């Protein structure tokens, strides 16, 4: 069966604790019968549960190197966060050459696609007839896009209406490879080497476009040891080839960490926010029209930006320093204005984004009102300790589960204890249940 | 059917908790699946009214009633009242104290902004006794039921 999401649970490792249910930004996880369960329609694939689980019961299902054999010509897409995994003496040219040597026919830099997205975004910002509402909200992080669809549907018109750097790079890579090698485009495999599970979900269920140009998404953590091995026995001819190539400019590479996408736009009137819970706070401010002094909001689900993804190897502080090396050694990007309108035309989404009603009580407003009334009543009777022992993240979430017929009031351990104590006190006054 | 009734206290001069009432109402409307544009109008209007009560009137309380086709929001305070409603409705006119202005509030956009976002606004004010604003926002369009690409 085709898996809709990339974040998975290993039932054998799950001990049924409350760490993940408390951390999930959409309250998508419940512990039932001692095991965590992810409600798929609510999952954003942000990976927060993978990060927080002390038992490593949460993992990401990613594509493996075995998928490479399905294609005649294979292209790897290297994201800026990949460069941030390797310290000196590795240079960008060395990393790209080593990545190709792990099993690909060619590699492309996602930073180049990022430069195109910057150009298109600039065109959108400068366009007086812009259909997009202000501030523009970056749509490069798939988690943020899904979050907006689910929790902030009113902000869908604010999203940057262009392909992500990953998609932009993939489309160009496939087209150019087909022209240069004569391979049928469908026989060319395009593989994104990813810092996060959400990118795989985005490649499987693309947004804003009919179909994706990314055939598979491999975790950076999976590619890392292979690249490392190839770095150690670097082929000087291949290295020379990459050193002679025109590589992406610094504006594109900077996208790897939070603030990079904004700096590339060359405006002071931006806000950059990282970490899914902080992103929610800022989206809340935008929706209430309390953030009127900026024209662009860069929002990344991971703290630090893509270098903070759950599938990377280097910690984000080391990664930041390493990315800085790549940024500083890169050439200055060509002016984004020059190709702005052309980029906007090429990258513009062709499909509208729909709201996702996964958090609503009921599709019918009358029924939703009745449920809400009951939810309020039940919530008032619950202890309000938000202990999570029932398997829901807090008392209100349990009340919602009860209203939806997914739990009962007996699931509340605090109330059960009170009832038990009452029974014991009438039968055995000395008895204690603690 | 009875409407869903929500009540929130509004604490005067407390900028830290200011906005909690409108944020609570917004959460409820979103949970109910009310059309996003109506949710936005209701929360922007209520936020402005709530902030007015915090800045000018030493706080008060908010009463929200949600029906299947509309939300009715009453913000009641026991402040000084508005001597000239016509003047207060003009953009840029403000009596906000310096403390509020320094935090970016009190630009004189409050009442006009409420008016713009509400389908109906009633101002019941008595000098020396207090003010009650009744904001009505209709849910023009039905709740969105079309699933997103991954729903």
pLDDT digits (tens, 9 = 90+) for A206-264: 999 999 999 999 999 999 999 999 999 999 999 999 999 999 999 999 999 999 999 99
Residue with tokens 């996060």: A196
Q: Is residue B9 within 8 Å of B61, Cβ to Cβ?
A: yes
Q: Evaluate whether residue B151 is within a structural domain.
A: no
Contact partners, residue A8, CB within 8 Å, separation at least 6: A58, A59, A60, A61
The H or E element spanning position A61 is: none
Using alpha carbons, select from A4, A72, A67, A70 the residue that is nearest to residue A40: A4
Contact partners, residue A423, CB within 8 Å, separation at least 6: none
- Nearest-angstrom CA–CA distance, B93 and A199: 49
Tokens of A281: 């706070």
Domain, as residue range, for B50: 4-138
Q: CB-based contact (8 Å) between B25 and chain A?
A: no
Q: Is residue B124 within 8 Å of B134, Cβ to Cβ?
A: yes
- Nearest-angstrom CA–CA distance, A48 and A27: 12
Q: Is residue B33 within 8 Å of A357, Cβ to Cβ?
A: yes
Q: CB-based contact (8 Å) between A150 and chain B?
A: yes
The H or E element spanning position B84 is: none
**CATH, residue B53:** 3.30.565.10
Q: Is residue B47 within 8 Å of A288, Cβ to Cβ?
A: yes
Query: Would you call B32 and A368 a contact, using CB atoms and an 8 Å cutoff?
Result: yes
The H or E element spanning position A215 is: none
What is the tally of structural domains in chain B? 1
* CB proximity under 8 Å: B 39-58 to A: 39-40, 43-44, 47
Q: Evaluate whether residue B88 is within a structural domain.
A: yes
Contact partners, residue A125, CB within 8 Å, separation at least 6: A136, A265, A267, A295, A296
Q: Evaluate whether residue B19 is within a structural domain.
A: yes
Q: Is residue B79 within 8 Å of B67, Cβ to Cβ?
A: no
* Half-sphere exposure at residue A388, Cβ-oriented, CA atoms within 13 angstroms: 16
Query: Would you call A368 and B139 a contact, using CB atoms and an 8 Å cutoff?
Result: no
Q: What is the ipTM of this complex?
A: 0.80
Q: Is residue A217 within 8 Å of A167, Cβ to Cβ?
A: no
The H or E element spanning position A373 is: helix A365-381
Secondary structure of residue B108 in the 3-state scheme = coil
Largest alpha-carbon pair distance within chain A?
Answer: 87
Per-residue pLDDT of chain A (434 residues; tens, 9 = 90+): 344 788 888 889 999 999 999 999 999 999 999 999 999 999 999 999 999 999 999 899 999 999 999 999 999 999 999 999 999 999 999 999 999 999 999 999 999 999 999 999 999 999 887 767 899 999 999 999 999 999 999 999 999 999 999 999 999 999 999 999 999 999 999 999 999 999 999 999 999 999 999 999 999 999 999 999 999 999 999 999 999 999 999 999 999 999 999 999 999 999 999 999 999 999 999 988 888 889 999 999 999 999 999 999 999 999 999 999 999 999 999 888 888 999 999 999 999 999 999 999 999 999 999 999 999 999 999 999 999 999 999 999 999 999 999 999 999 999 888 888 888 877 765 545 45
Q: Evaluate whether residue B81 is within a structural domain.
A: yes
Secondary structure of residue A201 in the 3-state scheme = helix
For an interface test with B, give the residue of A2, A210, A357, A367 to mutate (most B CBs within 10 A).
A357
Q: Evaluate whether residue B150 is within a structural domain.
A: no
Residues of A in contact with B2 (CB under 8 A): 373
Q: CB-based contact (8 Å) between A404 and chain B?
A: no
The H or E element spanning position B116 is: helix B110-117
- Nearest-angstrom CA–CA distance, A241 and A244: 5
Q: How far is A42 from chain B (nearest CA, A)?
A: 8
Closest chain B residue by Cα to residue A205: B150
pLDDT digits (tens, 9 = 90+) for A33-67: 999 999 999 999 999 999 999 999 989 999 999 99
Delineate the domains of chain A, giving CATH numbers in brackets.
Answer: 1-61 (3.30.70.20), 65-347 (no CATH), 361-434 (1.10.15.40)
Q: Evaluate whether residue B130 is within a structural domain.
A: yes
Q: CB-based contact (8 Å) between A380 and chain B?
A: no
Q: What are phi and psi of B124, to 5 degrees?
A: -115, 105
Q: CB-based contact (8 Å) between A205 and chain B?
A: yes
Q: CB-based contact (8 Å) between B28 and chain A?
A: yes
């Amino acid at each position: 069966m085709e898996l809709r999401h990339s974040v998975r649970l290993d039932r054998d490792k799950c001990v049924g604790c409350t760490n993940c249910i408390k951390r999930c930004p959409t309250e998508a996880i419940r512990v039932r019968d001692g095991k965590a369960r992810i409600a798929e329609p609510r999952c954003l694939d942000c990976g927060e549960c993978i990060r927080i689980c002390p038992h490593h019961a949460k993992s990401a299902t990613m594509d493996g190197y075995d998928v490479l054999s399905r294609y005649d010509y294979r292209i790897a897409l290297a994201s800026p966060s990949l460069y941030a995994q390797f310290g000196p003496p590795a240079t960008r040219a060395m990393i790209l050459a080593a990545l190709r040597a792990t099993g690909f026919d060619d590699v492309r830099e996602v930073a180049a696609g990022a430069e195109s997205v910057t150009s298109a975004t600039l065109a959108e910002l400068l366009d007086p007839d812009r259909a997009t509402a202000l501030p523009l909200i970056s749509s490069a992080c798939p988690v943020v896009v899904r979050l907006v669809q689910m929790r902030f549907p009113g902000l869908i018109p604010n999203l940057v209406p262009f392909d992500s750097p990953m998609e932009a790079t993939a489309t160009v890579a496939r087209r150019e490879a087909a022209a240069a090698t004569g391979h049928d485009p469908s026989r060319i495999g395009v593989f994104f080497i990813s810092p996060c599970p959400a990118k795989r979900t985005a490649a499987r269920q693309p947004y804003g476009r009919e179909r994706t140009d990314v055939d598979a998404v491999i975790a950076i953590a999976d590619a890392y040891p292979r690249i490392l091995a190839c770095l150690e026995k670097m082929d000087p001819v291949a290295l020379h080839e990459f050193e002679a190539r025109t590589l992406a400019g610094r504006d594109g590479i900077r996208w790897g960490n939070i603030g990079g996408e904004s700096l590339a736009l060359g405006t002071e009137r931006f806000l950059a926010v990282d970490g899914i819970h902080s992103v929610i706070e800022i989206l809340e401010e935008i929706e209430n029209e309390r953030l009127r002094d900026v024209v662009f909001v860069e929002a990344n689900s991971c703290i630090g930006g893509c270098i903070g993804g759950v599938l990377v190897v280097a910690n984000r502080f080391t990664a930041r320093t390493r990315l800085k090396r790549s940024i500083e050694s890169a050439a200055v990007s060509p002016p984004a204005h020059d190709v702005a309108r052309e980029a906007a035309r090429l990258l513009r989404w062709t499909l509208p984004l729909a709201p996702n009603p996964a958090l609503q009580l009921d599709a019918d407003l009358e029924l939703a009102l009745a449920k809400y009334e009951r939810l309020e009543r039940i919530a008032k009777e619950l202890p309000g300790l938000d202990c999570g022992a029932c398997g829901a993240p807090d008392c209100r979430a349990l009340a919602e589960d009860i209203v939806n017929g997914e739990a009962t009031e007996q699931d509340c351990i605090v109330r059960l204890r009170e009832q038990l104590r009452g029974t014991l006190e009438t039968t055995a006054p000395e008895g204690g249940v603690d | 059917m009875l409407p869903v009734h929500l009540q929130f206290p509004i604490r005067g001069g407390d900028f830290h908790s200011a906005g909690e009432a409108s944020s609570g109402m917004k959460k409820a409307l979103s949970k109910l699946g009310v059309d996003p544009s109506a949710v936005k109008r209701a929360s922007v209007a209520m936020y402005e009214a709530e902030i007015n009560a915090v800045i000018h009137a030493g706080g008060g309380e908010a009463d929200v009633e949600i029906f299947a086709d509309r939300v009715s929001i009453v913000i009641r305070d026991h402040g000084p009242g508005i001597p000239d409603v016509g003047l207060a409705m003009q953009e840029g006119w403000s009596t906000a104290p310096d403390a509020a202005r320094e935090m970016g509030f009190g630009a004189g956009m409050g009442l006009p902004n409420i008016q713009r976002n509400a389908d109906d606004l009633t101002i019941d004010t008595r000098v020396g006794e207090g003010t009650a604003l009744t904001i009505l926002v209709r849910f023009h369009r039905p709740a969105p039921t079309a699933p997103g690409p991954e729903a």
